[in-house]
C-alpha cells in the first residue's frame, strides 16, 4: 500500500472462492498453469505499478511544493499590488501630468493582467491538484487490488506446495503399502506351499490308516481265535492227562511184572504181559490221535463260524450261532457253553466297535479333507486378491514414478530457463503454447 502501511486482506468470500478453486490438488492441469502465469504477470504489474506509484508520489510532492510557492508568490504580488495602489492614489486638488497618468494606467493594466494570469494559474493548479489527487486515489485503490491479487497468488503457491508435499507423502505411504503387500503375498505363498505339501500327504496318510485298521482287525481276530482255542483245549488237556496216567499205569505194570519176574513171584508169562502192554499203548495212542483230530476240526469250525458271524448279519448269523451251539453243546459242559456265548458276545461287540471306529475314522478323514480343501481354496482366493492388489499397487507406483520424473524434468527445465534470464511473461506464453500443443489431438 502507499505510505508503507499494512495491506488490506481479502474478504472471507474471496478466500472461500479461492479455496474452492484450489480445493482439489489432483485436478491441477492447464488452469493451474494459467493461474501461475497470471500470478507472474500480476507480480510484474505490481512492480511496475509500484514504480509508477513512487514517481507519482514524487510528482505530487513537486506539484504541492510548486503550488505552495505559487500561492506564496500570488500572495506577495497581491500584497505588493495593494501597497502600490495605496501609495499611488491620486489626490484631489493636485495636478497630475499625462506622463504620470499613463504610467499609472500601465501599472494598473499590468497588475490586472498579472491578476488574471495568477487567477488562471491558480485555477490550473487547483485542477491539476484535484486531478492528481484523483489519480493518487485511483493508484491507491489499484495498488490495493493488486496486493489482494498478490495475496491470493501467494495462497495459490502455498496450496500447490501443500499438494506437492501431500503427493510425496502419499507416494511414500504407497511404497510402504506395496512392500507390505509384497511381504504378505510372499507369506501367503509360503503358507499355500505348506498346505499343498500337507494335502499331498493326505492320500498316504489315508492308506496308512487303512493299513493300520486292517492290521488291527487281523490281530484282534487272531487274539479272539487264540482265546477260543485255549478255552476249548482246557477240558481236553484234563482228559489227556487222565489218559497219560492210564498209560503210565499200563507202563508201570510191565515194570512191576519185570520186578516180579526177577523176584520170582510172577504168575503170567512174560510174552503175554508184553503183548498186553503193547496193546494198551497202541489203544491210548489211537485215542489221543482221534481226540487231537476232533479238537483241530472243532477249532477250524469255530474259526469259520466266527468269520461268518463277523461278516454276516441277521438270519445267517443266527444259523451260524445255532450251529456253533449244536457243535459244542453235545460234547462240552455248561461251562464251555457259557464261555462260547461270552466269546461270541465279545466278538460281536468288538465287531460293532470296529465298524463304529471305522465310520468315525472315515468321517474324521472326510472332515479333515474338507477343512484342508476349504483352507486351500481360501488361501488361493487370498493369493489372487493379494496378486491383484499388488498389480494395482505396481501400476500406481509406475504412474507416480512417471509423474515424479515429469515434475523433475519440468523443474530442471524451469531452472535452466531461469538461468537463461527468460522473462516470466515469455515463460508463461511458452508454457501455455506447450500445453495447447500437448492437448491438441493432431499433435499426438
- Rounded CA gap, 344 and 352, in Å? 12
* pLDDT computed for residue 298 by the predictor: 62
- Return the HEC string of 188-234: HHHHHHHHHHHHHHHHHHHHHHHHHHHHHHHHHHHHHHHHHHHHHHH
pLDDT tens per residue, range 243-281: 444 434 444 444 444 444 444 444 445 556 656 666 676
What is the per-residue pLDDT for 11? 47
Reported as a pLDDT band with limits 50, 70 and 90, residue 345 is: confident
Identify the weakest region by mean pLDDT among 46-50, 153-157, 290-294: 290-294
**Structure confidence at residue 107 as a pLDDT band (50, 70, 90):** low
Q: What angle do CA 439, 443, 444 make, to 5 degrees?
A: 85
Mean pLDDT rounded to a whole number for the chain? 69
- Percent of the chain having pLDDT more than 70? 57
Choice between 367 and 302, residue whose per-residue pLDDT is larger = 367
Q: What is the mean pLDDT of residues 386-400?
A: 85
**What confidence score (pLDDT) does residue 76 get?**
80
What's the pLDDT score for residue 440? 61
Q: Which of 24-38, 91-105, 331-345 has the lowest mean pLDDT?
A: 91-105
Distance CA 304, CA 93 (A): 191
Let me know: does 152 contact 45? Beta carbons within 8 Å: no
In 3D space, the residue among 1, 5, 2, 17 whose CA is nearest the CA of residue 155 turns out to be 17
What is the pLDDT, as a whole number, of residue 5? Answer: 40
For position 132, what pLDDT does the model report?
67
Instruction: Say what the pLDDT of residue 230 is.
Output: 62
Task: Name residue, grid cell 505194570.
Answer: 253
**pLDDT at residue 65 greater than cutoff 80:** yes
Q: Nearest to residue 147, comparing CAs of 25, 290, 3, 248?
A: 3
Percent of the chain with pLDDT over 90: 0
**What was the pLDDT predicted at 307?**
61
What are the tens digits of pLDDT across the range 121-179? 677 767 776 776 787 788 788 878 888 878 887 888 888 888 888 888 888 888 888 88
Cα–Cα distance measured from residue 290 to residue 240, given in angstroms and rounded to the nearest whole number:
12
**What does the pLDDT read at residue 129?**
66
Residue 56: exposure state from Cβ atoms within 10 A (0-12, 13-18, ≥19): middle
DSSP string, 316-358: HHHHHHHHHHHHHHTTS-HHHHHHHHHHHHHHHHHHHHHHHHH
Q: Is the pLDDT of residue 372 over 70?
A: yes
* C-beta of residue 236 within 8 angstroms of C-beta of residue 291: yes
Whether the per-residue pLDDT at 4 is higher than 60: the answer is: no
**What's the CA dihedral at 76, 77, 82, 87 to 10 degrees?**
100
Span 351-380, mean pLDDT? 81
Which of 68-72, 300-304, 426-430 is the least confident region? 300-304
Q: What is the pLDDT of residue 159?
A: 84
Q: If pLDDT is split at 50, 70 and 90, which confidence band does 242 have?
A: very low
Question: In degrees to the nearest 10, what's the CA dihedral of 7, 8, 10, 11?
Answer: 170
pLDDT recorded at residue 73: 79
Cell numbers describing residue 406: 515429469
Domain regions of the chain by residue span: 201-368
Predicted confidence band at 232 (pLDDT cuts at 50, 70, 90)?
low
- State the Cα–Cα distance between residues 279 and 273, nearest whole angstrom: 10
Residue 92 sits at φ, ψ, to 5 deg, of -75, 140
Tally of CB atoms within 10 A around 128: 14
Q: What would the grid cell of residue 111 be?
A: 497588475
User: In terms of C-beta distances under 8 Å and separation of at least 24 residues, what long-range contacts does 171-174 make, across chains too?
Assistant: 171/400, 171/404, 174/393, 174/396, 174/397, 174/400
Q: Is 8 left (phi over 0), alpha (psi -120 to 50) or beta?
A: beta
Residue matched to cell numbers 463260524: 305
Torsion of CA 123, 128, 134, 139, to 10 degrees: -170
The pTM of the full predicted model, rounded to 2 decimals, is 0.27
Residues 228 and 302: beta-carbon distance below 8 Å: yes
Per-residue pLDDT at 332 exceeds 60: no
Amino acid at each position: 500500500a502507499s505510505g508503507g502501511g499494512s495491506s488490506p486482506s481479502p474478504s472471507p468470500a474471496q478466500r472461500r472462492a479461492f479455496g474452492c478453486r484450489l480445493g482439489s490438488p489432483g485436478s491441477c492441469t492447464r488452469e493451474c498453469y494459467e493461474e501461475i502465469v497470471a500470478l507472474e504477470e500480476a507480480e510484474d504489474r505490481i512492480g511496475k505499478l509500484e514504480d509508477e506509484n513512487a514517481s507519482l508520489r514524487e510528482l505530487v510532492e513537486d506539484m504541492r511544493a510548486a503550488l505552495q510557492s505559487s500561492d506564496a508568490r500570488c500572495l506577495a504580488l497581491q500584497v505588493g499590488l495593494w501597497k502600490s495602489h495605496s501609495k499611488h492614489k491620486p489626490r484631489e486638488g493636485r495636478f497630475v501630468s499625462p506622463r504620470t497618468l499613463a504610467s499609472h494606467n500601465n501599472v494598473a493594466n499590468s497588475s490586472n493582467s498579472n491578476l488574471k494570469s495568477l487567477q488562471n494559474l491558480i485555477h490550473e493548479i487547483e485542477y491539476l491538484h484535484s486531478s492528481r489527487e484523483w489519480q493518487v486515489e485511483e493508484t491507491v485503490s489499484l495498488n490495493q487490488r493488486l496486493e489482494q491479487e498478490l495475496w491470493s497468488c501467494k495462497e495459490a503457491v502455498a496450496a500447490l506446495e501443500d499438494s506437492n508435499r501431500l503427493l510425496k507423502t502419499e507416494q511414500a505411504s504407497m511404497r510402504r503399502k506395496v512392500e507390505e503387500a509384497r511381504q504378505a503375498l510372499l507369506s501367503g505363498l509360503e503358507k499355500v506351499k505348506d498346505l499343498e505339501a500337507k494335502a499331498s500327504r493326505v492320500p498316504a496318510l489315508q492308506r496308512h490308516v487303512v493299513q493300520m485298521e486292517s492290521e488291527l482287525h487281523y490281530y484282534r481276530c487272531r487274539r479272539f481265535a487264540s482265546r477260543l482255542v485255549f478255552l476249548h483245549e482246557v477240558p481236553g488237556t484234563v482228559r489227556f492227562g487222565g489218559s497219560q496216567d492210564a498209560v503210565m499205569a499200563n507202563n508201570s505194570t510191565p515194570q512191576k511184572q519185570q520186578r516180579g519176574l526177577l523176584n520170582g513171584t510172577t504168575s503170567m508169562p512174560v510174552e503175554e504181559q508184553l503183548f498186553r502192554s503193547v496193546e494198551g499203548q497202541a489203544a491210548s495212542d489211537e485215542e489221543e490221535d482221534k481226540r487231537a483230530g476232533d479238537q483241530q476240526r472243532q477249532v477250524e469250525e469255530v474259526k469259520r463260524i466266527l468269520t461268518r458271524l463277523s461278516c454276516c448279519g441277521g438270519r445267517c448269523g443266527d444259523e451260524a450261532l445255532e450251529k456253533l451251539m449244536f457243535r459244542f453243546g453235545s460234547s462240552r459242559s455248561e461251562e464251555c457253553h457259557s464261555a462260547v456265548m461270552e466269546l461270541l458276545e465279545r466278538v460281536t461287540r468288538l465287531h460293532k466297535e470296529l465298524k463304529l471306529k471305522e465310520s468315525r475314522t472315515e468321517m474324521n478323514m472326510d472332515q479333515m479333507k474338507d477343512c484342508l480343501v476349504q483352507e486351500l481354496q481360501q488361501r488361493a482366493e487370498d493369493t489372487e486378491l493379494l496378486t491383484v492388489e499388488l498389480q494395482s499397487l505396481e501400476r500406481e507406483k509406475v504412474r507416480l514414478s512417471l509423474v515424479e520424473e515429469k515434475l523433475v524434468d519440468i523443474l530442471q527445465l524451469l531452472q535452466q530457463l531461469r538461468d537463461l534470464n527468460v522473462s516470466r511473461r515469455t515463460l508463461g506464453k511458452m508454457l501455455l503454447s506447450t500445453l495447447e500443443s500437448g492437448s491438441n489431438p493432431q499433435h499426438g
